[in-house]
Amino acid sequence: MKPNIVYLDFETSGLDSTRHSVLQAAWIVERNGEVLQERVYDVQPDRNDDFCLAALDMNGFDLARIKAGRYMSHILTILKQDCLQVSSPRICGHNVQFDISFLTAAADRAHENLFLYLDLKKFLDTAAIARFLDYQGVLSLDRYNLDTCCTHFGIVNDRAHDALGDIRATRELFHILTGLPNGKS
């Protein structure tokens, strides 16, 4: 039986979860390899934000789009409901500790206890899996960012730096990396 997974990706207004906010949240809930839920939301920051203009530009956001988003506290409620559809889900992402830092910061501000339905210590990280395959000598890339990994494995992500496009690509990458015979490409 395959693990229950919540693939998670955030696009953010910068790199520091103490100063910046989530601009877009996307996740896919998977049970035994089958997708149960797929969601994406633009997010309205719930506090003053030290916006990084380069991050806004890279993600295609402007102030009007940000103001039209939902509040993260509402999005966390939906995420919780989706996570409760499966038992013991694991978070998976590409460089997922970055996303987890934003998730926990938002949950703290919303007084939401994520540990009641997510084990944030047993996460799965496609970047780490790819680097481990490099360590084993079965994969060798110049870089292990999502774009490079996707290109290597022929995964088309025509929505790079869009949370839903990135998380769909991450899910496909996870299945490829974990399904490689003897870890070989």
Which residues are 151's β-sheet partners?
A: none
72 Cβ partners below 8 Å, 6+ apart? 21, 22, 25, 43, 44, 45, 46, 106, 109, 110
Mean pLDDT of 116-121: 82
Token duo for residue 145: 């960012």
Mean pLDDT of 161-173: 95
Residues 8-60 have pLDDT tens digits of: 999 998 889 988 889 999 999 999 999 999 999 999 887 666 666 666 677 67
Task: Answer with the residue of higher pLDDT: 1 or 137.
Answer: 137
Closest C-alpha to 24, from 99, 104, 121, 101: 99
C-alpha span between 141 and 148 (Å, rounded): 8
* Beta carbons of 88 and 49 less than 8 angstroms apart: no
- How are beta strands 70-71 and 90-93 bridged, if at all? unpaired
pLDDT at 185 over 60: no
- How are beta strands 5-12 and 22-31 bridged, if at all? antiparallel
Give me the pLDDT at residue 42, please.
Answer: 95
Angle at 160 between CA 130 and CA 86, to 5 degrees: 65
